[in-house]
Structure 1
Amino acid sequence: MMKFYLKVLEPHAYGKVLFKGLLFAMLFPVSSFAQNNNGGKGTTGAVQTSGVLSGMLTNIYGEPLFGVQIKSKSDGAVATSDNKGQYSLLIDSGEVAVFSLKGYLTREVNVSGGKLDLVLTEAEKQQNSVYRLYDTQNRVSSILSTESVYTRDLLSSPVTAINNALTGRMSGLSTLQSTGIPGLDASNYFLRGQSPTILINGVPRDVSSIDPEEIESVTVLKDALATAMLGVRGSGGAILITTRKGEVGKQKISFTAQRGLQTPMRMPKPLNAFNYATLYNEALVNDGKAPVYTAEDLEAYRTGSDPMGHPDVNWYKEILRNNAPFTRYNLHTSGGGNNARYFVGVDYLDQKGLLKTSDENTYNTNSDFKRYIVRTNIDVDLTSNLMLNLNLFGRIENGTAPGGSGIATFNGRSVNLGINTIFASLATTPNGAYPLFNPDGSLGGNKDYQRNIYGQSVRSGYTLSYSREMSADLSLKRDLKDVLKGLWVKGFATFNTNLAEVTPRGKTFAVYQGKNDPSGITYQRFGTDGTITAGTSTNTYQYKNFYSELSAGYDQSFGGHHIKALATANIQSISIYSDLPLTYKTLGGTFSYDYKTKYLAEVVMSYSGLNRYRDGKRYGFFPAAGLGWNMAKEDFIANHVKWLNTLKLRSSYGRTGNANAGYFVYNQYFADGDGYYFGTGSGTFVFSVGEQTLANPNVTWEKADKFNLGVDLGLFQDKLTLTAEYYNNKFFDLLQTRGKNTSIIGNTFPLENIGIIRYKGVDLTAAYRDHVKNFNYFISGNVTSNNNVIEYSDEVLRAYDWMKRTGQRTDQTFGYIAEGFYQNAADIANSPKTEGYNPVPGDIKYSDLNKDGIINQFDVTGLKNKRPIIYYGLNFGFDYKGFDFSALLQGAQNRSVYVSGPTQWEFQSEGKGQAFEQHLNRWTPATAATATYPRLSVGSNPNNQASSSFWLRSGNYMRLKNMELGYSLPSRLAAKVRLASIRVFVNGMNLYTFSETKDYDPETFGVAYPAQRIVNAGINIKL
């Protein structure tokens, strides 16, 4: 009997299906049913009941899924869900129905009834395509070292910079967030220890701020095979950001509104005025000086009885808010038909700063940041063989800051350094230095402290910063199947520009020192109360980028043989300020072959150059090759080990480059030097001509030879996937200054291509996804082990091996090895002498490595161990009946940080600085056995503050980086208000940190603007 089925049916059509099914059965003999239901193997056996299976298919957010294919596993009968997620399939009871949709886990269900609603889970890690340079590749035939993260994971992190959403999600990629300044809090990122090239939609360009809603995927390219086509920009690896496109189907509209609170993570803990004064007196006595605070002073600080003469101001509390709001709105729409598809998105973000403001000002003095983004991606099929793609992007960023001096530019955005000055003042101003306000309301201060921090924050005016960026990408792709099947050609051009400006509106303010006289309080003024100055807008950053590319490709299969070829030619011209353009030119090509996705091979090469190198040394050749073998495809495995889906061995080796040229350093330059007067009277002033840094006519690009060995496993229908990779990369011709240079010539020697550093490590990734009925769950983890060793450095002559930089890590810290504290005069007498310093009890004691009885530069050695740093991430979650949950743990091991400066050392800034809680546990004769800090001093101490292992602390940590909980209303409720879905959610960022040190954050510490903990709530509505 032939099986009857319908692809798409509304609920009211079910009766018609049953009627037609019964009529169909009456027209054929029962024996046909019996034979069919036994798979054609006989005419005997039980007769199964045929019926209609129907229901609704949604994702975890309750959104209907259109285009899901539902088929009978036994005979291949197929139906497809409609735009409401509804489906209907004529299938026998007891058979297996298979539900599949690209990007979602395939579900197999034993049919036992007529009604079946299912929730399908996204399977982004198992997508068929792998993003690579200039095109995509089938995952099963890829031997590149790549890893991707997709939209859903990115959206679960409430961040302003996409860098921060990548932390802990991909092996090989490590991040470090060194500041929390709004709009400038993007983490630095490193790919296998290197700074990768960033490409957005295939174009190398700066990425400072981008809307996560517009991103389809972020992919890291790690090995030479994946990046050789970048030529002189491939050594550091690459990060590909691919933005979303429209898809065929009805228009989809999505609106997200979210609001959160930011709170500082870990702040320095300064001493109150009483403890400060007590310890200050002790430090003076240790230095052989008389105390300055009397018993009456200490009592006044302790009781707070004289807030003007003996203040106790918690400056962090007075200047900073406990929290600051974070707001974001996003609206995007997509859809289209066979001839045109579109994606349009707008995004608004408002991130407030931590500074308190005052109603006395008509302007904003906080460090606020606002961002507006618009993106339009359009694909149009001009003919059946010709497709046009147009991407338009615009971004506006506005920032405010308190008044101050100094401007810096970070990732295309300018910022007034007044905010950094304020945090430096917070870290260096004692609580008892001066009152916040005097009794008459004036700002407190005195001769030593003439910059009241409240005045810096609120009464120094304000600064406005602006950044404007726009880009336009246009491409035409012609399918040449009418000439040769599988052949295509594409032309692409893009232009983007970025302009940043700063407008200062500063003013001066006075501080007053109050004194109690018999006639009352008198004040001494320091400084001048000024008015807002009309500063001139300054162009602080100007960037233009023009990129054009011509490419052609061929993709075809012949029986079990599959070949794919790609050739590209591109040129990029980058102009920054008035510098001459930086021009890259690259010719590249790749050829890959596989036989039944079992035996894999690929060859990549490029010929690339940069105009900052002289003629004859401008272009280089960068080849790479790789082989792979998917053993699971072999008959001796495939026919016997059904649970093994993938067992792929792959390896690659190649050369990549890094253009680190400088500004035309192959030319010798001369500039005006000192000047002199000639003649009598006023005379004539004549400049001398000075030779600048010596030229290096032989300068060339840095190089890296990269080896990668990997294995990919897929088990149990790819529910469990594992990837392990070993890499060994030799970076050579690195630009360094020779250590054996001499100063006798009176000039600076140039950088030369002489250095060699080797990076080695292991990347591990594992993921498991499954479901129990409608309870879907996943867990994935990644581990990166990275080590690097300097194999050659032309360093200065060093007397002992332990002093040498060669053989050490690139981030090595050099100093003395601390052995504790000198306990008494006998201990000092029996210890090696310290050159140029006479230690006293409580000072740090150091190791005499060369055993000459003297502590000096010959005892300086590498302080960090040579074990690799390990970065890791663990992501897990589930969804069930509209609820969804995910969490990310991220951390590092075998990491060390060096702490120093005004938040670590006591009484800095010539004795006027702050002291902190760690100083309470200083060495004294009474605490000698338990002290964790050396004896106190005022100002700098050349012995205790010397670079040493004492100040090298553990940087190990594990952070609850991200967590999200969401609930999607049942689709039937959303449909009542004519919506596709309604989802509410709460999420958080940097929620909790486990670390060995509690007095500072392991990433952001010292005088920096602190990193933020964000707790956020929102709603997403889709039509």
Structure 2
Amino acid sequence: MKKNAESSKRYCLRLFMLSVIYLSFTQPSYSATKEDAVPAATIQADRVVSGKVINEKGEALPGVNVIVKGSFVGAHTDSAGEYQITVPPNRDTLVFSFTGYEIQEAPVDDRKIIDVTLKQLSSEMNEVVVVGFGKQKKITTVGAQSSVNAEELKMPVANLTNLVAGRIAGIIGVQRSGEPGFDNSEIYIRGISTFTSSSPLVLVDGVERSFNNIDPEDIASFTVLKDASATAVYGVRGANGVILIETKKGRSGKTRINAQIDYGLSEFTRLPKFADGVTYLQVSNEAYRNSNPSDPLPRYSQERIDATANGTDPDLAPNVNWFDVIFNRYGNNRRARVNASGGSDKAQYYLSIGYYDETGMFRTDQLAQYNSAIRFTRYNFTSNLTLNLTKSTKVDFGASGWISNGNYPGSSTGAIFNAAYVMPPITIPVKYSNGLFSQPRTGDMGNPYTMLTQSGYATRFESQLLSNIRVTQNFDFITKGLSMTGMFSFDNNNAHNIARTKSVDAYLATGRGEEGELDLTQTAIGTNYLGYSRENGGSRQFYLESAINYNRTFGKHQVSGLLLYNQSDKVDAFAGDFISSIPYRYMGLAGRLTYAYDTRYLAEANFGYNGSETFAPDHRFGFFPSYGVGWVASQEKFLENIKDVISFLKFRFTYGEVGNSQIGGRRFAYIATVGNGGGYDYGRNNTNNSIGGLGFGDYAVDVSWERAKKYNLGIELRTWKDAISLTTELFREERRGIFRQRGDVPWFVGIGSLPYANLGAVNNKGLDATLEINKPLGKEFKLGFKGNFTWNRALVLDDANAPWPYPWQQRIGRKLGQRFGYIALGLFQSEDEIANSPYQPGTNKPGDIKYKDLNGDGRIDSYDQAPIGYGSIPEIVYGFGPTFSWKNWSLAAWFKGISNVDIALYGDGFRPFTYGGERGNLLAAISDRWAPGNPDPHPFYPRITYGADNMNFEGSSWWVKNGAFLRMQTVQLNYEFKDMKWLQRAGMSSFDLYFIGYNLLTVSGFKLWDVELGDGRGSQYPLLKTYNLGLRCNF
């Protein structure tokens, strides 16, 4: 049986071609040392040792690592806590290790049975968390940071950004598209505090990198740094918060192999629903009659309506649901991944490969000689190797990356979706009965089907290789706690887009001839061959880091320090102009000093001194300090008597300054561009022209980084023997020096292009909180709950614009991103009401929207626009989820919600008959409209007209809809097989079957399309719900 298990492991290892490389590194560790060298006469035989590992409560501990000290020989305890291991000659110590417990060593001597009791670590005293440029014990940190269990991120999604919003306190995130390969979420830490870029700094294994395409299986920790104390060491890059991701490393012990595969179906969460052809014709007649009451003839005859209803002539009276034409009911996704880890006290390794494949929802033409279906495929790999060269020298090697290939229609996904959105159901058929393709006369409105299936195809190939090496040297022989680290990384990214596009001949039928043949007019001339175009992109990045660390305890005094230098150099490998070809460079120093007395009284100071080549030499570098203090009140003697009620209580406060060098994509903004300033025409008939002088393009004055002052008050509480934990943060930020173009200089001054400067200012405040409950209910049933909440509100202090005429128009003191529009009072109910109301431009009738005259001048105009709604970025994001486990079963769910957000509806498709009847579909919500026979004062649609002869579709509070929702983001049901003989025969330690559902349920008052898209027209590729079945096995 044991041989079979080892055979299975060797077979799985062959799947990892990269392991050969690592074996070449680790082989030297087998070489003999002086301690190993013994006379042949003293060589002993192998010894078999067995035993049981329990905790202090006497409970068996499965999965404990048992290794022979100084060798690769290792084993794991089974579900009963029992183990068996072969001890080679001249090795006489076993090492027992398990997460959350103290490492214990046991001498073998002549014993054949060794039972061990492991002591549990005190969580608050020993838990280590990731901080900027290092790690600290959690109990001594004073900065605001949150993390998520890496296990919660292992979901069937291609893009990791879609999982973090709502799972981590402090993160505001929304997903705006479900298109495979382009479905990443917008992520903000504690909201938006600037008019420029609000993207956080993301570091993967200490290097600035994107995390969109990381395989969740490879993540060891995911941490968010939120306040200045946590981010000041990043200086000009830290104002928008920092996300730290660490990938998995190897552990000592025998090789552990994990394999997983799953398959899933996907469908849209919600598609816009449109009226059918008959309803479209009838409403069109109503709208035409409302706009042309003197015309006795309808827009469409009853004969046309009957033909559409009966389907007697689909060529001339079509009735097409374009979404049904272009979309399949289901798509699918597939995942597979394998990883292996292990090692000895000399070397440890982690290797993984992953595969993800997703097929989109678009239909294809089976007769086409090319594939225009949406399909996104990605291959990931990660390899981390740790070598302990000596007792004081450690080297970490890391190499990872991914390769992706996307296939798409020749026309863009957005163009196809938009065409289906605005194409009326009665304009053209999919294609005519004689096989010819159709297209209307309107030049900017194509046939959605031909755009999808007859426009060729496009491919996008991307590859990324990430590599780094870190050397850590311990200098305990000089003074205890002193060490130095050095790191170098090189990243390479390439992207290649190839478009093979074509078009087809298309026609519009205007009637039938005497013999019934179609009268056709050609509306498009096709190419009928695949063209070719290519775009290349890519970058190369070098990063260098060197640091001195000090960490030491003197009795009750704990002191640590850090001094670090780093620099990076990033080059656009396919730069198209001189400015883009100049490397993006960054250089800086960072420092930290911490002090803790008796783990009760805490103090910390950080600084970042760094800069960017973006700014002028005199403004290139800046100093960013931060300070923090903390008090672990639960360590005080006067609280000892209530330890069972309040097991942990900590207060902390931080203040600091950080910067933001992301100024809207502008490089070298301090350098003015000078060009021809235009000329004057003179002479007979103005036939001559002279140069009027030189003109300045966009230029800036003393441009520098934005500077943010941040304050944070945090409280950590655990009660009832750690069964309940609560962390609450109150924060405030004042961001000044925001890069803005002046808007307060009047036109008559004569300056054509106003300068840019660090003028804007924003105040942001809010709170975030995390609640966890873990309560065992007996030995076999466990119940858990986790929730988090984030609220922020950012107000504009200065936007560099001139004052507005009226108080309600002022932007100062308003929310950042605040919408402005008319205040709708309802609908006009009579002609008398219209006559006695302020003047509104256009032809107004009962059923039209009535607006509020804010300035009392008797007319509705731009001076009556005021703040409406919250905006498109939510102020509140929250998430919560219960977990249950009973025997071999486990069930977990996660709900994500957003609030204080809205959607402003606009544009054709949503707006009926914008261009008469030629363009614009009708949403099914058209059934809820005002009409003489349905004088509802609060319908969805007001009176419907042809064209734009009134103010019904101006931006106003009428069209601002609540965008709040609660979504069941994930649900996972798992069954674990254990204690079965067939597992042992297969060499497996565990085997799991599971079901995962993603985006299965959404509760929202907004029903037109997926509310999270935040789009005012609903013309985006919708989000997906998925159903996945899979299996996971561990060897």
Relative to the length of structure 1, the TM-score reads: 0.86
Given candidates 988, 993, 1002, the residue that maps to 1:984 is: 993
Take 2:583 and 2:126, find their aligned partners in 1: how far apart are those partners?
A: 40
Alignment-derived partner of residue 763 in structure 1:
768
Is the Cα–Cα contact under 8 Å of residues 79 and 978 in structure 2 kept in the other structure?
no
The answer for unaligned runs of 5 or more in structure 1 is: 1-8, 18-49, 59-63, 69-79, 90-98, 107-115, 405-417
Map 1:590-669 → 2, pairs under 5 A: 590-661=592-663, 662-669=666-673
Q: 1:105 to 1:774 in 2, by over 3 A?
A: farther
Map 1:218-237 → 2, pairs under 5 A: 218-237=222-241
Alignment-derived partner of residue 66 in structure 1:
65
Is the Cα–Cα contact under 8 Å of residues 496 and 545 in structure 1 kept in the other structure?
yes
Q: 1:427 to 1:166 in 2, by over 3 A?
A: same
Alignment-derived partner of residue 258 in structure 1:
262
Alignment-derived partner of residue 327 in structure 2:
320
How far the C-alpha of 1:985 sits from its partner, in A, is 0.7
Is the Cα–Cα contact under 8 Å of residues 629 and 649 in structure 1 kept in the other structure?
yes
Take 2:367 and 2:638, find their aligned partners in 1: how far apart are those partners?
A: 82
Percent identity between matched residues is: 30
Is the Cα–Cα contact under 8 Å of residues 821 and 845 in structure 1 kept in the other structure?
yes
Alignment-derived partner of residue 340 in structure 1:
347
Is the Cα–Cα contact under 8 Å of residues 643 and 721 in structure 2 kept in the other structure?
no
How far the C-alpha of 1:362 sits from its partner, in A, is 2.9
Map 1:826-841 → 2, pairs under 5 A: 826-834=832-840, 836-841=841-846
Given candidates 491, 499, 503, the residue that maps to 2:494 is: 499
Alignment-derived partner of residue 168 in structure 1:
166
Is the Cα–Cα contact under 8 Å of residues 471 and 497 in structure 1 kept in the other structure?
yes
Q: Which amino acid aligns with 1:134?
A: F
Q: Give SS of 1:998's match.
A: coil
Is the Cα–Cα contact under 8 Å of residues 908 and 914 in structure 1 kept in the other structure?
no
Is the Cα–Cα contact under 8 Å of residues 645 and 717 in structure 1 kept in the other structure?
yes
Count of aligned positions: 932
Alignment-derived partner of residue 719 in structure 1:
723
Map 1:955-966 → 2, pairs under 5 A: 955-966=963-974
How far the C-alpha of 1:53 sits from its partner, in A, is 10
Given candidates 424, 429, 437, the residue that maps to 1:435 is: 429
Alignment-derived partner of residue 554 in structure 1:
550
Alignment-derived partner of residue 756 in structure 2:
751
Q: 1:520 to 1:305 in 2, by over 3 A?
A: closer
Q: Which amino acid aligns with 1:139?
A: K
Is the Cα–Cα contact under 8 Å of residues 66 and 84 in structure 1 kept in the other structure?
no
Alignment-derived partner of residue 420 in structure 2:
426
Map 1:843-922 → 2, pairs under 5 A: 843-864=848-869, 869-909=875-915, 911=917, 912-922=919-929
Q: Which amino acid aligns with 1:318?
A: V
Given candidates 583, 591, 595, the residue that maps to 1:589 is: 591
Q: Give SS of 2:152's match.
A: helix
Take 1:938 and 1:424, find their aligned partners in 2: how far apart are those partners?
A: 21
Q: Which amino acid aligns with 2:886?
A: Y
Take 2:436 and 2:184, find their aligned partners in 1: how far apart are those partners?
A: 38
Q: 1:929 to 1:537 in 2, by over 3 A?
A: closer
Q: Give SS of 1:537's match.
A: strand
Q: 1:82 to 1:512 in 2, by over 3 A?
A: closer
Q: Give SS of 1:297's match.
A: helix
Alignment-derived partner of residue 285 in structure 1:
289
Take 2:356 and 2:591, find their aligned partners in 1: how far apart are those partners?
A: 41
Given candidates 298, 308, 311, the residue that maps to 1:304 is: 311
Take 1:127 and 1:278, find their aligned partners in 2: how far apart are those partners?
A: 72
Map 1:792-831 → 2, pairs under 5 A: 792-831=798-837
Q: Which amino acid aligns with 2:991?
A: I
1:403 correspondence with 2:399: no
Q: 1:384 to 1:13 in 2, by over 3 A?
A: closer
Q: Which amino acid aligns with 1:419?
A: T
Alignment-derived partner of residue 954 in structure 1:
962
How far the C-alpha of 1:932 sits from its partner, in A, is 2.8
Given candidates 998, 1002, 1008, the residue that maps to 1:999 is: 1008
Q: Which amino acid aligns with 2:924?
A: E
Q: Which amino acid aligns with 1:817?
A: I
1:184 correspondence with 2:182: yes
Alpha-carbon displacement from aligned partner over 1:352-371 (angstroms, at most 9, x marks no partner): 11110122123210121111
Q: Which amino acid aligns with 1:533?
A: L
Alignment-derived partner of residue 28 in structure 1:
none
How far the C-alpha of 1:170 sits from its partner, in A, is 1.0
1:358 correspondence with 2:360: no
Q: 1:676 to 1:962 in 2, by over 3 A?
A: same
Is the Cα–Cα contact under 8 Å of residues 802 and 862 in structure 1 kept in the other structure?
yes
Is the Cα–Cα contact under 8 Å of residues 227 and 656 in structure 1 kept in the other structure?
yes
Q: 1:685 to 1:569 in 2, by over 3 A?
A: farther
Is the Cα–Cα contact under 8 Å of residues 402 and 462 in structure 1 kept in the other structure?
yes
Take 1:378 and 1:1002, find their aligned partners in 2: how far apart are those partners?
A: 45
Q: Give SS of 1:345's match.
A: strand
Mean Cα displacement is larger for which, 639-648 or 488-497? 639-648
Is the Cα–Cα contact under 8 Å of residues 57 and 120 in structure 1 kept in the other structure?
no
1:1020 correspondence with 2:1026: no
Take 1:571 and 1:671, find their aligned partners in 2: how far apart are those partners?
A: 36
Q: 1:565 to 1:844 in 2, by over 3 A?
A: same
Mean Cα displacement is larger for which, 592-601 or 507-516? 507-516
Is the Cα–Cα contact under 8 Å of residues 54 and 87 in structure 1 kept in the other structure?
no
Alignment-derived partner of residue 480 in structure 2:
485
Is the Cα–Cα contact under 8 Å of residues 401 and 464 in structure 1 kept in the other structure?
yes
Q: Give SS of 1:855's match.
A: coil
Is the Cα–Cα contact under 8 Å of residues 121 and 776 in structure 1 kept in the other structure?
no
Take 1:51 and 1:703, find their aligned partners in 2: how far apart are those partners?
A: 52
How far the C-alpha of 1:792 sits from its partner, in A, is 2.1
Is the Cα–Cα contact under 8 Å of residues 349 and 385 in structure 2 kept in the other structure?
yes
Q: Which amino acid aligns with 1:286?
A: N
Q: Give SS of 1:698's match.
A: coil
Take 1:929 and 1:84, find their aligned partners in 2: how far apart are those partners?
A: 70
Q: Which amino acid aligns with 1:983?
A: D
Q: 1:457 to 1:733 in 2, by over 3 A?
A: same
Is the Cα–Cα contact under 8 Å of residues 726 and 763 in structure 1 kept in the other structure?
yes
Is the Cα–Cα contact under 8 Å of residues 633 and 649 in structure 2 kept in the other structure?
yes
Q: Which amino acid aligns with 2:546?
A: L
Is the Cα–Cα contact under 8 Å of residues 844 and 950 in structure 2 kept in the other structure?
no
Q: Which amino acid aligns with 1:478?
A: Q
RMSD of aligned Cα (Å): 3.3
Q: Which amino acid aligns with 2:976?
A: S
Take 1:120 and 1:684, find their aligned partners in 2: how far apart are those partners?
A: 94
Is the Cα–Cα contact under 8 Å of residues 56 and 117 in structure 1 kept in the other structure?
no
Q: Which amino acid aligns with 1:443?
A: F
Structure 1 residue ranges, 4+ long, deviating more than 4 angstroms after superposition: 9-14, 50-56, 80-83, 85-89, 103-106, 116-127, 671-679, 683-690, 865-868
Take 2:811 and 2:619, find their aligned partners in 1: how far apart are those partners?
A: 30
1:974 correspondence with 2:970: no
Is the Cα–Cα contact under 8 Å of residues 328 and 348 in structure 1 kept in the other structure?
yes
Take 2:129 and 2:48, find their aligned partners in 1: how far apart are those partners?
A: 37
How far the C-alpha of 1:684 sits from its partner, in A, is 14
Is the Cα–Cα contact under 8 Å of residues 236 and 658 in structure 2 kept in the other structure?
yes
1:519 correspondence with 2:515: yes
Q: Give SS of 2:309's match.
A: helix
Take 2:254 and 2:690, find their aligned partners in 1: how far apart are those partners?
A: 76
Alignment-derived partner of residue 412 in structure 1:
none
Q: 1:569 to 1:1015 in 2, by over 3 A?
A: same
The answer for unaligned runs of 5 or more in structure 2 is: 1-46, 68-73, 84-95, 104-114, 193-198
Q: Which amino acid aligns with 2:248?
A: R
Relative to the length of structure 2, the TM-score reads: 0.85
Take 1:733 and 1:274, find their aligned partners in 2: how far apart are those partners?
A: 58
